[in-house]
Amino acid sequence: MTRSSASSAGVALLAAILAAALGGCVVSPPYNPQPAAQPPPLADEGVVEQASEPPPPLPVYEQPPCPEEGYIWTPGLWRWGPEGYYWVPGTWVAPPQVGMLWTPGFWALAGAVYVFHVGHWGNHVGYYGGINYGGGYVGSGYVGGRWVNNRFQYNTAVSNVNVTNVHNTYVDKTVINNVTINRTSYTNTTVNNTNELHNSYVGAAGAARPEPTKAETGAAGEPHYAATAPQTQHQVAARANPMQNAARNEGRPPVAATPRPGAFEAHEVTAAKPVGPAYHPQRAQGSEEKGHDEEHH
């Protein structure tokens, strides 16, 4: 753009703002989360972590309210570090581009080891093992919200949204597959709502779904994009926090969910509820873990 055209554009913009002000209107920019000239980086979906023992059951916790329009819920899960399993809190995240949805990572039993498959962004939600992470991730797809005309709408039957601040909402209870889920206390109640812990990996007896659906198979053929920088920083912070380690918190992390990535001390942080027996690792404390624990986050 030349200096003269830039100047003309600036004058036109100023004139529009002044006209709106004189008319008693407030100029508000259209919602557009993190527009990008280039697509985000593709996800590295190779094996990054594996362990010789199963991950703990998923804790029960409440979802914090969505901090602002356009953020999408990403459920918490266990990852593997130097001291064994540690909990990465669920959190609300700005997607890398309009229209993208999050497919959670998941653990799966492969032979005698447990292998972690990383999550990714994409145009559709793919396979995450049929695991009921809660918060809209009921085992297949995502029922917590949807994109409509480049704006994200929240299903208030599932997502914890303050409708005073976020107006782009709807209510659809039928998409929850007849599972009774309290609007804010989701993660991992059973179908009969007894607050039992859920298995957290594919391959557990009677748990999760080992085969993808037709829709999930289709999503597997689409481009998959890596977690955003705030998501990666969120995981690194969880890994560095000793109290997020399952051996220390007995499977009940003190920070189970946060309103934003890395906001471990925010007022809206929620802790795991004291549900189920205490978790104790199978391996001896301090022993060498098997497989990989590489710096892939």
Q: pLDDT for 106-130, tens place per residue?
A: 999 999 999 999 999 999 999 999 9
Query: Quick one: what percent of the chain has pLDDT higher than 90?
Result: 63
Residue 274 counted as domain residue: no
Domain count, the chain: 1
Segments forming the whole domain that contains residue 154 = 49-258
Which residue in 105, 118, 128 sits closest to 209, CA to CA? 128
pLDDT band at 204 (very low <50, low <70, confident <90, very high): confident
Residue 251 counted as domain residue: yes
Residue 272 counted as domain residue: no
The whole-angstrom separation of Cα 92 and Cα 166 is 14
Q: Residue 111 class from Cβ within 10 Å (0-12 exposed, 13-18 middle, 19+ buried)? A: exposed
Residue 3 counted as domain residue: no
Residue 15 counted as domain residue: no
The whole-angstrom separation of Cα 256 and Cα 245 is 12
Residue with the bigger pLDDT between 285 and 231: it is: 231
Residue type at 209 in one-letter notation: R
Residue 275 counted as domain residue: no
| Cβ proximity of 128 and 105 under 8 Å | yes
The string of pLDDT tens digits covering residues 54-77 is 999 999 999 999 999 999 999 999
Predicted local distance difference test score (pLDDT) of residue 20: 37
* Average confidence (pLDDT) over 248-269: 97
Residue 118 counted as domain residue: yes
Residue with the bigger pLDDT between 36 and 60: it is: 60
The whole-angstrom separation of Cα 289 and Cα 85 is 10
* Average confidence (pLDDT) over 193-215: 74
Strand partners, 51: 114
DSSP track, 59-76? PP-PPPPP-STT-EEE--
| Cβ proximity of 230 and 93 under 8 Å | yes
Residue 297 counted as domain residue: no
Strand runs labelled E in the chain: 49-51, 72-74, 77-81, 84-88, 90-93, 101-103, 106-110, 113-117, 120-122, 145-148, 151-155, 169-170, 201-202, 257-258
